[in-house]
Amino acid sequence: MELVTPGIGLLFWMLLMFAVVLWVLKRFAWKPILKALKNRELSIQEALMTAESARQEMESIKADNEKIVAEARAERDQILKDAKGVKEEIINQAREQAAEEAKKMISAAKEDIKNEKDSAIQDIKNQVAELSIEIAEKILREKLAERGNQKALIEKWMKDIELN
What are the residue boundaries of the structural domains of the chain, listed by start? 1-60
The H helix count followed by the E strand count for the chain is 4, 0
Global pTM? Answer: 0.36
Dihedral over Cα of 8, 13, 18, 23: its sign: positive
- The predicted pLDDT at position 65 comes to 60
- The predicted pLDDT at position 135 comes to 85
pLDDT in tens, 61-113: 765 667 777 888 899 999 999 999 999 999 999 999 999 999 999 999 999 99
DSSP state of 71: H
- The predicted pLDDT at position 64 comes to 63
Instruction: Lowest mean pLDDT of 32-46, 64-78, 136-150, name the range.
Output: 136-150
